Amino acid sequence: MDRNELVRRFVLNEISDDYENVDQIILPNVARECAKLGFVVDRSHVVRALTELVESGLAQAYLLSSTEPARELPGMPALDVVEEWFETYFYVTRKGMDLHLSDDAWWPFDDEGNPRL
């Protein structure tokens, strides 16, 4: 599996159990996992992965607010800068969950969190 696909799978994993924001959860967690494997991932890599997931129907973007109902966004929103109020979140779609649950052989870590050789 190439690095781009690995980043996409890490991002999908992050959004598979809750709505997640790029800068609060997705980027720090994906960057940590990639660092364990010896490579650096930055915000642009995560945004690119999210864009590909949304465009392929594996993820959906939402606007979340503490005062209004969640609003589904059409397509991928612009995420050129870190949001001040963290309103844009992502969640896996049914199609994305089917992929996520279909195969865990891609997961590169053992039960202790160490890279598998």
> Residue 49: inside a domain, yes or no?
yes
Per-residue pLDDT of the chain (117 residues; tens, 9 = 90+): 899 999 999 999 999 999 999 999 999 999 999 999 999 999 999 999 999 999 999 999 999 988 888 899 999 999 999 988 899 999 999 999 999 999 888 999 999 999 986
Q: Looking at the domain assignment, is residue 115 inside a domain?
A: no
Residue 110 located in a structural domain = no
Give residue 51's identity as a one-letter amino acid code: T
* Cβ-proximal residues to 90 (8 Å cutoff; 6+ apart), any chain: 15, 19, 20, 21, 22, 26, 50, 53, 54, 59, 60, 61, 62
Q: How many domains does the chain have?
A: 1
List the beta bridge partners of residue 62. 72, 89
Q: Answer whether residue 114 is part of any domain.
A: no
**For the domain that residue 52 is a member of, what is the CATH number?**
1.10.10.10
Domain contains 46 = yes
Give the residue numbers spanning the domain of 54: 3-102
Closest C-alpha among 112, 116, 113, 99 to residue 29:
113
Residue 117 lies inside a defined structural domain of this protein: no
